[in-house]
Amino acid sequence: MDIIKILKEDYQRFPADQTYSIYAENVFFQDPLNKFRGVKRYEQMIGFIDTWFIDVKMDLHDISQSGDTIKTEWTLSWNTPLPWKPRIAIPGWSELRLNDNGTIVSHIDYWNCSRIDVLKQHFVSIKKG
């Protein structure tokens, strides 16, 4: 299993058709808004993004592996379903840790901006309009 190739393909089609089999059943996930265990819960979170946000894109800027750790650098963007449909962008990176079987046991996302910065993006379009 070429996990780097799979991750690159998953990022390209995010949030649709993700390869959940590369995650351990009890995977630990954390980002600035969520913290939980379990691949089913991770699947639900991706499903929420796919259902509620418009034109979701996950642009992968870099991916590298060192031992049992994979680091990805990305920008997640979408339009929020508000009347003015603001485009939101979150630059960040992920640290993925692999077990001996090569499956992901930990997925931690970091943002290069604050939660307040993300919230403010929802109102930039109103000022311009």
Model confidence over 54-100: pLDDT tens digits?
999 999 999 999 999 999 999 999 999 999 999 999 999 999 999 99
Distance of CA 24 to the CA centre of its chain: 17
In the structure, what pLDDT confidence band is assigned to residue 125 with cuts at 50, 70 and 90? Answer: low
Strand (E) or helix (H) holding 107: strand 104-111
| HSE-CB of 120 using CA atoms within 13 angstroms | 5
CATH code for the domain defined by 3-128: 3.10.450.50
Assess whether pLDDT exceeds 60 at residue 129. Answer: no
In this prediction the pTM is 0.91
Strand (E) or helix (H) holding 77: strand 69-79
Query: What residue segments make up the domains of the chain, in order of their start?
Result: 3-128
Helix (H) and strand (E) counts in the chain: 3, 6
Token readout for 99 is: 């077990």
